[in-house]
Structure 1
C-alpha cells in the first residue's frame, strides 16, 4: 500500500513541477530574434511595394555574410537574387546551394519575409530572412 501512494505522490509532484514551467519565448531574450510582420506586409506600415530593384542589408552570420536583392513589379515580389552567401569552404557552398533555392521559392510564394527556416541551414536562413526584410522595407511605398 505504501509503494503505490509514493508513486502517485511522486507523479503528482512531477506533473505540478512541469505545469509550473513557463514557455521560452525567443523575443523575451535580450537580442533574441523577433518575428517578422504579419502576412501581406513587409514589416513596415501597410502599403504596396514600389516597382524596382532593392538590395537588402548584408547580414553577418556565424558562417559568413548573406545579402539579397529583390525585384518588385506591379506591387508583387517577382525575383529574389542572392548577392552574397556563405562560401568560405565546400560545406558552406553546399548548404547555400540547397538552402537558397528553397528560401527563394518560399519568399516568392509568401510575397513577404515570413518564411520557414531550412533545416540544416539555420544561420543562412536567418541571414536571408533579415536581408530580405530590409530589402522589402526599402521597397515599401
Structure 2
C-alpha cells in the first residue's frame, strides 16, 4: 500500500511539473507592425466594459459633441499605459489609433504589433468601446477599451 501511495505522489508531481513547464522564453524583439507567422491573433467573444478614466480627455478640431479628433485618457495597465485617439466625422468613428501602448520589451513589441492594429480595426467596426479582447494581449485590450470609451465620452460630451 505504501508503494502505491509513493508511486501516485511521484506521478502527480511529474504531471504538475510537465504542465507548469514554459515552452517559450524568447525575448528577441520584433519590428513593430510586422505580423508574426502571417496569422491573425485570436479573439475572445466577450466584450469588456470600460471603467472610469484618470484624467480629462483632450479634443481638437471641433467642439465637444461633434466632429473632430478626441484623445481618451491614458489607461494604466500592468505593462504600461494605453491611450487611444479617435476621429469622428458625421457622428461616426472614422479613425481609431492607439497613440501610446506598452513597448518596453521585445515581448511587448511582439504582442502589440499584432494586437493594436486588430483593436484599431475592431473600434471602427463596432463604433463603440464594446470590442473583443485580443487573446494574448488582455491587459492592452482592456486598457484600449477604457481609453476608447473615454475618447467616445469626450466626443459626445
Q: TM-score, normalization: structure 2?
A: 0.59
Q: Which runs of 5+ in 1 are unaligned?
A: 1-33, 37-48
Rounded Cα–Cα distance in structure 1 between residues aligned with 2:153 and 2:105? 32
Corresponding residue for residue 35 of structure 1: 49
SS at match of 1:67: strand
SS at match of 1:120: coil
- Looking at secondary structure, tell me which structure has more helix per residue: 1
Corresponding residue for residue 104 of structure 1: 120
Following superposition, the deviation at residue 94 of structure 1 comes to 1.1
How many residues align? The count is 96
The answer on 1:76 being equivalent to 2:76 is no
Following superposition, the deviation at residue 35 of structure 1 comes to 2.9
Following superposition, the deviation at residue 57 of structure 1 comes to 0.5
SS at match of 2:87: strand
Q: What is the Cα-based RMSD across aligned positions, in Å?
A: 1.3
Rounded Cα–Cα distance in structure 2 between residues aligned with 1:35 and 1:56? 15
Following superposition, the deviation at residue 81 of structure 1 comes to 1.3
SS at match of 1:68: strand
Q: Which runs of 5+ in 2 are unaligned?
A: 1-47, 51-64
Rounded Cα–Cα distance in structure 2 between residues aligned with 1:56 and 1:98? 21
Q: TM-score, normalization: structure 1?
A: 0.65
